[in-house]
C-alpha cells in the first residue's frame, strides 16, 4: 500500500504538478480546500483554483481488489463564482492524480462518501500520461500525471463531458502513441478534437523536454549551469518540415543560452565547437546593445557538454541543416 499523505503534503504534490506543467502558483488559501492562483510569466491572465484533494486508497473490505477510492471527508464540496473547482485524488504509489466531475458531487455529504476508480486507470495514467475511466453511472473519471495538471484544469468541462462510447475517450487513453491524422479524421466534435490535439501536443513537448534534459543531466550544454534553469531546445526548429522530436535533435540549454541560440547570437558546429556570431555582435554594438558581452563570452565553454550516452549526441546532419535553416553567420 502506498503512503498516505497529510493535506499539506498533498498541496505540495499539486504545486509540483503546476511547476512541471510550466506554470507558477501563488497559494491564496493554505487551508483545505486550497486556493491557488496559476500564472505564466509571459501572460497577463491567470487561473483561480479551488482544490479539494484526498489520498486515493484501496477500496476497502468486501470490495473488488482492483478498485480504489477517494473518500470525501472533512468538508462538503461546493463551487464559487470566478473559481475553477477541482475534486482530486492522489495516488502516491503511481504518482498520478484522479479527477472527478465536480458537478456530480456538489453538496455530497454523508458520514464518509467515497468515489471509486479502477486501478488499471491509475496504472495507465502512470505509463501513458492520461487515462479516462467510465464509472458506469455516466461520470468519467480522468487520471493524469502531475505535469498535465494545467491541461486538465483548462479542459475540465470537455474531459468530463466525454461519454463511454466517445471516440475521443479512447484516444485520451493512448495519447502517447496518437498521431495527428487520427485526431483530425476520427473525432467529429470540433471542441473535443481541439482538446485531444492540445493534450497530444503538450505530451510531445513534455516528452521531448524530459528526454533531452535527462540526457544532459539537467546541465546547460553551453555553460554547464544546472540550478533548475535548463530547458530543451530543438536543433532543427520545430517550425521546419525536417524537424523531429528525437533526443538527438535536442540540446539542453539554460534560459539565457536558449534565447541566445534562437536569436543566432551563439551556435555550435558539426564538431560540437561553440561559436559566437561576430555578425550579430556587430549589429548589437551598432545599436548600443552589446553591454555584458565580455561576461557572456567568459561563461561559455569551448565545446558543448555532451550527453553520457553517445546515442543522444546531437546528430551532425541535424546541426548542419539547422545552421542552414537558421542562416547562421559567424
pLDDT tens-digit series, residues 262-293: 999 999 999 999 999 999 999 999 999 999 99
Kindly write down the DSSP assignment for every residue of 112-132, as one continuous string: S-EEEEEHHHHHHHHHHSEEE
**Cα distance between residue 32 and residue 206, in whole Å:** 30
Q: What is the pLDDT along the chain (330 residues), one digit of tens a residue?
A: 567 999 999 999 999 999 999 899 999 999 999 999 999 877 778 999 999 999 999 877 777 788 899 999 888 889 888 899 999 999 999 999 999 999 888 877 655 688 989 999 999 999 999 998 888 788 899 999 999 999 999 999 999 988 877 888 888 888 988 888 888 888 888 888 999 999 999 999 999 999 999 999 999 999 999 999 999 999 999 999 999 999 999 999 999 999 999 999 999 999 999 999 999 999 999 999 999 999 999 999 999 999 999 999 999 999 999 999 999 998
pLDDT > 70 in the chain, percent: 98
Residues 6+ apart with CB under 8 A from 17: 97, 146, 147, 148, 149
* pTM metric for this prediction: 0.86
Chain centroid to Cα 264, Å, comes to 27
Instruction: Match 548542419 to its residue by C-alpha cell.
Output: 320
Q: Where are the domains of the chain?
A: 7-174, 230-325
Please choose, from the candidates 116, 115, 110, the residue with its C-alpha nearest in 3D space to the C-alpha of residue 76: 110
pLDDT tens-digit series, residues 184-208: 888 888 888 999 999 999 999 999 9
- φ, ψ dihedrals at 192, nearest 5°: -70, -35
- φ, ψ dihedrals at 298, nearest 5°: -65, -30
Total H helices, total E strands in the chain: 11, 13
Amino acid at each position: 500500500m502506498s503512503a498516505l499523505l497529510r493535506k499539506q503534503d498533498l498541496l505540495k504534490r499539486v504545486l509540483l504538478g503546476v511547476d512541471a506543467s510550466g506554470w507558477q502558483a501563488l497559494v491564496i488559501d493554505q487551508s483545505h480546500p486550497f486556493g491557488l492562483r496559476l500564472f505564466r510569466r509571459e501572460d497577463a491572465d491567470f487561473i483561480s483554483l479551488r482544490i479539494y484533494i484526498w489520498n486515493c486508497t484501496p477500496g476497502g473490505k468486501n470490495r473488488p481488489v482492483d478498485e480504489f477510492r477517494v473518500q470525501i471527508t472533512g468538508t462538503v464540496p461546493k463551487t464559487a463564482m470566478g473559481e475553477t473547482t477541482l475534486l482530486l485524488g492522489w495516488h502516491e504509489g503511481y504518482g498520478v492524480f484522479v479527477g472527478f466531475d465536480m458537478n456530480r458531487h456538489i453538496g455530497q455529504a454523508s458520514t464518509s462518501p467515497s468515489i471509486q476508480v479502477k486501478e488499471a486507470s491509475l496504472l495507465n495514467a502512470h505509463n501513458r500520461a492520461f487515462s479516462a475511466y467510465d464509472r458506469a453511472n455516466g461520470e468519467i473519471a480522468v487520471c493524469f500525471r502531475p505535469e498535465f495538471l494545467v491541461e486538465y484544469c483548462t479542459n475540465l468541462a470537455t474531459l468530463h463531458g466525454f461519454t463511454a462510447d466517445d471516440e475521443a475517450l479512447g484516444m485520451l487513453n493512448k495519447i502517447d502513441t496518437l498521431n495527428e491524422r487520427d485526431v483530425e479524421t476520427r473525432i467529429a466534435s470540433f471542441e473535443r478534437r481541439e482538446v485531444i490535439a492540445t493534450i497530444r501536443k503538450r505530451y510531445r513537448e513534455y516528452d521531448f523536454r524530459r528526454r533531452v534534459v535527462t540526457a544532459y543531466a539537467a546541465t546547460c550544454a553551453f555553460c554547464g549551469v544546472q540550478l533548475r534553469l535548463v530547458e530543451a531546445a530543438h536543433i532543427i526548429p520545430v517550425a521546419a518540415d525536417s524537424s523531429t522530436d528525437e533526443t538527438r535533435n535536442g540540446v539542453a540549454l539554460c534560459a539565457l543560452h536558449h534565447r541566445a541560440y534562437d536569436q543566432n547570437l551563439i551556435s555550435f558546429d558539426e564538431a560540437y565547437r561553440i561559436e559566437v556570431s561576430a555578425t550579430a555582435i556587430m549589429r548589437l554594438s551598432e545599436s548600443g546593445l552589446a553591454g555584458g558581452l565580455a561576461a557572456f563570452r567568459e561563461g561559455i565553454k569551448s565545446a558543448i557538454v555532451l550527453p553520457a550516452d553517445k546515442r543522444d549526441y546531437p546528430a551532425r546532419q541535424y546541426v548542419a541543416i539547422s545552421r542552414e535553416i537558421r542562416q547562421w553567420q559567424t
